[in-house]
A and B are shown apart, each in its own frame.
Chain A
């Protein structure tokens, strides 16, 4: 990186009284007032917190830095990913022009937009003519702005008329979404996070807040400074768990047993809110009958914890004046992910801890637009406004808006992992995908790669050549978040506006432009003739009107003025809805639903051959499949490679090669030996690719309703290994200068010294 050469004031010769030297050393280089520098307000591209930030843009229109922003969400705070996010913009690995492959197994080569688009359109036509419309699938993602997620749903149903579209939130938010709809009739966090400042107790389950949503820590500490206590339920002692009043290190895959037992104690001790249950809920008796069978000794044996931890959790929650519960992928990435979330919601409802300041509940979305991306129709079973694709009224409304006949609107497709699995049987022959990297992110990914091998045609949109894009037949260069404005909806349900800070480099183009041109080449350009994200947003407003996720009262101007609005916003004079459920829940009778849940074994219980539980997750320096963060020098320096976290009782020393083996795959990883993980559990982070992809080992069992994979628990064995598996550098187009640079950095064996990375002084 080039450093700015600052001009320094010369100190008068002979000055030795330091305090009299009084020169204003800053005079020459004030960051905020430098001539020709523009600060463009926007939000981060990474997680669901959606921190505000300014991008620093120089006189030539190049993004060259970041400046903290005092936005309400984050008050200047950023994590290391957020601070360095701008470094993607002018990164040498950026895809600058379309790439095509002339034959399977051949190399990608540069092509013109016309050639690439012709190829895409003719392959779509050929495959749909030969095998039917549903033989072409679309796989989208939730890091896109909401406008693009809306466009992808419309493009699949109206442009391609295929029923097969799904999105990568299927790997992320769907368990929480299903539980929220069952219990509350609406899928959105119940409170703004500022409500945490008035709570007395916070409970975090399966949420490594400090590493996955670091800036949420700002709210956590704000609450604690005002006297709130904290319970963390997690198999690992995470950085926030370290300081919690109570940490419950249960076995992966036992959450519902734990929370049923907590509710058992609360009922036993009479800490219920009888009035709330009677007036505002339905179904308590069923839950009560189930949890009565979950006495603490029974749950403690399943969870592998001291029963006292159950009693203490129940006492803290049951006697708290105001309490809030949050959960994330730890409890949701399971074949009982929906039930786990419901077991926490039952606790919240039984004690009336919802619908007021300091009382509430929320799931923490993983991707920047994890919330907005699951509302407007890129889900297999959903239409815009969080409408149901099988509901005749909803179908008629959207078909009318899109100007098509209702029978021409396809019905529900299948979920993401199943969509890829359909390639095995030839049901899916062609695939258009963007904003995802399943070769790293999908479970049991050797099978996933084999599925893609069966495709006759695969086009991928991305701004870096991901592992998945590297095997596509056509790669179309898209923009980073800094080159395209648009809205996202953060983990609180707050719709915010990102601003474009720079023009795209080379021939890269925004996703909506690319989709519009593909539609044109297919001869169906009309419904996709948008000239900006704002034009798409105006249509989205109408499409969401009257739906659960109603955006009809939101305009770009209002977002600009307010810094963000909480949906539903049903009219332009509506102030938005920061806190839900103050009056009623989203059912005709206004009452929330209890849902009794039973705990069951994970899909792959441990046995004599595979006696250890493997759980996977994230680390603070990297994001999801790593296609972005594995290319940022500072983040690679902090955490160069994956590791396996093992308890000292396993008998290894730091850095020992440890072979982790499951029924599906194995990796030899350096041991990170630490007391902060359970004796019967090992942890591997999943951001890396190829032979070091944790998902070589994970099980592809899916939740029966949400279809989320069970990333968080499977059975493994570990043994002393020989050679640590090298982690490949991220791919780049053949012959590009970046490709040579990357090739030199293929193997980095420096392992992290802590779960958060390497200390700056660690050798």
Chain B
């Protein structure tokens, strides 16, 4: 994980869905949100959590790897883009390959949609819409140094473990104290 990216901190999420509303404003998929906002352990807590595309780095973009038409572009900065409209055949391979349940299919248009980290914004240094508006900073955009400047005690990881499979992602998750061994090298 290099440079600026998204950091997700579910502990701060207040479930307001500002990110969901803001995602609909992204000009590459206007009117539809690519974010899943889940109210977890319903009935026991008001906790909630946003899921955005994690932009997998290792293995690189399973969604792109399984795409039979090479429609999913990964740019040099590690951003995994939505399937190119010219190529996408809506086969759903990417949907099944994604470990986080991110890509969405529009069966009327026969097209796939997913988060491209608001590439029109992030490629020129602006925060993606979700991170720009998030009232609590549960979705933060910046470098690890910028995160630590604001939250001196934060720790983050770019590893997600599914059974024996470990995935390193371009998007990081802020973790509670005690998960330090999984944290990104160089963070407290």
14 further contact pairs, Cβ within 8 A, besides A211-B14, A674-B44, A760-B20: A3-B30, A4-B30, A18-B72, A24-B123, A26-B119, A65-B25, A78-B22, A80-B20, A210-B135, A214-B14, A239-B14, A242-B46, A674-B42, A675-B43
| Cα of A716 to Cα of B76 in the assembled complex, Å | 62
Task: Determine if A25 and B25 form an interchain contact, defined as CB atoms under 8 angstroms apart.
Answer: no
B-side contacts of A242, CB under 8 Å: 45-47
Task: Determine if B14 and A10 form an interchain contact, defined as CB atoms under 8 angstroms apart.
Answer: no
Q: How far is the CB of B110 from chain A (nearest CB, A)?
A: 15
- Given contacts A18-B61, A18-B74, A759-B38, is CB(A3)–CB(B31) below 8 Å? yes
- B70 contacts chain A at the CB level, 8 A cutoff: yes
- A130 contacts chain B at the CB level, 8 A cutoff: no
B-side contacts of A1, CB under 8 Å: 30-31
- Given contacts A77-B135, A217-B136, A239-B14, is CB(A32)–CB(B126) below 8 Å? yes
| Cα of A167 to Cα of B28 in the assembled complex, Å | 44
Task: Determine if B43 and A68 form an interchain contact, defined as CB atoms under 8 angstroms apart.
Answer: no
Q: Which of B14, B45, B151 contacts A240 (CB 8 A)?
A: B14
Q: How far is the CB of A645 from chain B (nearest CB, A)?
A: 10
- Given contacts A22-B75, A78-B133, A225-B150, is CB(A83)–CB(B27) below 8 Å? no
Q: How far is the CB of B145 from chain A (nearest CB, A)?
A: 15
Task: Determine if A25 and B75 form an interchain contact, defined as CB atoms under 8 angstroms apart.
Answer: yes
Q: Which residues, 9 to 45 on B, are CB-close (under 8 Å) to A?
A: 11-12, 14-18, 20-22, 24-25, 27-33, 35-39, 42-45
Q: Which of A24, A76, A239, A675 contacts B44 (CB 8 A)?
A: A675
Q: How far is the CB of A677 from chain B (nearest CB, A)?
A: 10
What are some 8 contacts across the A-B interface (CB < 8 A)?
Answer: A16-B70, A25-B73, A29-B27, A210-B16, A673-B43, A675-B43, A754-B48, A755-B46
Chain B residue nearest to A675 (CB atoms) is B44
A-side contacts of B75, CB under 8 Å: 19, 21-25
B-side contacts of A240, CB under 8 Å: 14
Q: How far is the CB of B21 from chain A (nearest CB, A)?
A: 4
Chain B residue nearest to A80 (CB atoms) is B21
| Cα of A648 to Cα of B87 in the assembled complex, Å | 51
Task: Determine if B16 and A211 form an interchain contact, defined as CB atoms under 8 angstroms apart.
Answer: yes
B-side contacts of A648, CB under 8 Å: 43
| Cα of A754 to Cα of B119 in the assembled complex, Å | 32
Chain B contact residues, majority secondary structure: loop
| Cα of A445 to Cα of B145 in the assembled complex, Å | 55
Q: Which of A21, A26, A82, A754 contacts B120 (CB 8 A)?
A: A26
- A513 contacts chain B at the CB level, 8 A cutoff: no
- B168 contacts chain A at the CB level, 8 A cutoff: no
A-side contacts of B47, CB under 8 Å: 242
Task: Determine if A218 and B135 form an interchain contact, defined as CB atoms under 8 angstroms apart.
Answer: yes
Task: Determine if B135 and A79 form an interchain contact, defined as CB atoms under 8 angstroms apart.
Answer: yes
Q: Contact residues of B with A, CB < 8 Å?
A: 11-12, 14-18, 20-22, 24-25, 27-33, 35-39, 42-48, 60-61, 64, 70-76, 81, 84-87, 116, 119-121, 123-124, 126-127, 129, 132-137, 150-153
Task: Determine if B44 and A760 form an interchain contact, defined as CB atoms under 8 angstroms apart.
Answer: no
Q: How far is the CB of B55 from chain A (nearest CB, A)?
A: 12
- Given contacts A25-B81, A32-B126, is CB(A756)–CB(B151) below 8 Å? no
Task: Determine if B28 and A761 form an interchain contact, defined as CB atoms under 8 angstroms apart.
Answer: no
Task: Determine if A15 and B70 form an interchain contact, defined as CB atoms under 8 angstroms apart.
Answer: yes
| Cα of A478 to Cα of B89 in the assembled complex, Å | 48
A-side contacts of B46, CB under 8 Å: 237-239, 242, 674, 676, 754-756
Task: Determine if B21 and A634 form an interchain contact, defined as CB atoms under 8 angstroms apart.
Answer: yes
Q: How far is the CB of B121 from chain A (nearest CB, A)?
A: 6
Q: Which residues, 740 to 763 on A, are CB-close (under 8 Å) to B?
A: 753-757, 759-762
| Cα of A23 to Cα of B76 in the assembled complex, Å | 9
| Cα of A68 to Cα of B131 in the assembled complex, Å | 10
| Cα of A78 to Cα of B19 in the assembled complex, Å | 9
Interface 0/1 of A707-725, CB less than 8 Å to B: 0000000000000000000
Interface centre among A19, A211, A674, A759 (most CB of B within 10 A): A759
Task: Determine if B61 and A621 form an interchain contact, defined as CB atoms under 8 angstroms apart.
Answer: no
Chain A residue nearest to B39 (CB atoms) is A754
- A66 contacts chain B at the CB level, 8 A cutoff: yes
B-side contacts of A595, CB under 8 Å: none
Task: Determine if A11 and B70 form an interchain contact, defined as CB atoms under 8 angstroms apart.
Answer: yes
Chain A residue nearest to B72 (CB atoms) is A18
A-side contacts of B119, CB under 8 Å: 25-26
A-side contacts of B70, CB under 8 Å: 11, 15-16
- Given contacts A675-B45, A756-B14, is CB(A225)–CB(B152) below 8 Å? yes
B-side contacts of A216, CB under 8 Å: 135
| Cα of A237 to Cα of B43 in the assembled complex, Å | 12
Chain A residue nearest to B121 (CB atoms) is A31
- A84 contacts chain B at the CB level, 8 A cutoff: yes
Q: How far is the CB of A563 from chain B (nearest CB, A)?
A: 18
| Cα of A220 to Cα of B20 in the assembled complex, Å | 22
Task: Determine if A6 and B27 form an interchain contact, defined as CB atoms under 8 angstroms apart.
Answer: yes
